[in-house]
Amino acid sequence: MAMPATMNIEFIGNINPYVGMGIKIVTSLILGGLIGYDRETKMKTAGIKTNIMICLGATLFTASSFLNLSDHPNSDPNRIAAQIVSGIGFLGAGTIFHGKGFISGLTTAATMWVVAAIGVAIGSGYPITATIFTITVLVVLSAISPIYNLFGRQKDFHMEVLASGDLLDSVREMLLKEHFYIREIYEEMLDPITSLRIIHVVVRSQSKPLGSFINNLVRLRNVRRVHFYDHDGEFKGNPYKGSPFGSGDDSA
């Protein structure tokens, strides 16, 4: 199997195929890493390594299909892209978590699907276009929640988290990364021997994004149960390890 003499790259033209593959690999590392970093800082299941591997894999599959055209001119490289689209669904399904009355992980699964599409674009020789789409994805993941919180109806919510171990800083960090306005946060020690404590949190938010946040919070190993209610006195939470919110989004 002979390597083609040239490889076409967007805005560059025909170049040495090894140089072209190097450009595609580096672009995949950067773009997949940027999206993965955003997900990892928000404590999502698919982080930097996962998104880089998805982007690299999609790039390699697509680039290989074009390389084979020199030996098989009648083959259709689009068939590889079609298999990537369907195959990434099995990987994304593993990030969707279904618990008692709630579903989380859909945004992470959708992000993995988009990262695979970005890899296909890179492998097809369009790194600039892939970069534009990556920027678009990062804007959506970072800006939608603050805009939603800005224009939606908000009120104060009180959350009581029963946990074993020091989770106060972790809970505060998770809230800040999701752009919640924290009115008050403190902990009440119940048992110094077992390190059992209640973390009290008062935030101003809407029900849906905060419900999605709780979906992620209850999955922490040291969280035992969550009580959740608004300041109008209406109980919202679940006394067990779970959340009543049936949100299909994992709060981006």
Scanning 68-204, the segments in alpha helix (DSSP H) are: 78-93, 106-123, 127-151, 168-177
pLDDT, greater one: 173 or 35: 35
For the chain, give the mean pLDDT.
Answer: 80
Q: Are 200 and 185 in contact (CB under 8 A)?
A: yes
Q: Classify burial at 20, counting beta carbons within 10 Å of its beta carbon; exposed 0-12, middle 13-18, buried 19 or more.
A: buried
Kindly report the backbone phi and psi dihedral angles of residue 91, in degrees, each rounded to the nearest multiple of 5, phi listed first. -70, -40
Q: What pTM did the predictor assign?
A: 0.65
Per-residue pLDDT band for 76 (boundaries 50, 70, 90) equals confident
CA distances from 78 to 20, 74, 75, 110, 111 (A): 20, 12, 9, 21, 22
Residue-wise pLDDT for 182-196, tens only, equals 888 888 888 888 888
Across 24-28, 50-54, 68-72, 119-123, least confident range: 68-72
Q: Return the pLDDT at 167.
A: 85
**Sequence-separated (6 or more) residues with CB below 8 Å from residue 194:** 164
Q: CA dihedral defined by 217, 223, 227, 228, rounded to 10 degrees?
A: -10
> pLDDT tens across 134-180, in order?
999 999 988 877 776 666 666 778 888 888 888 888 888 888 888 88
% of the chain with per-residue pLDDT over 70: 79
**Top-confidence residue, 114 or 203:** 114
Q: Which fold has domain 155-230?
A: Alpha-Beta Plaits (3.30.70)
Can you give the residue ranges of every domain in the chain? 7-149, 155-230
Residue 160, C-beta contacts closer than 8 angstroms, at least 6 positions apart: 198, 199, 200, 201, 226, 227, 228, 237
Place 40 in a pLDDT band, splitting at 50, 70 and 90. Answer: confident
Range from 21-25, 44-48, 152-156 carrying the lowest mean pLDDT: 152-156
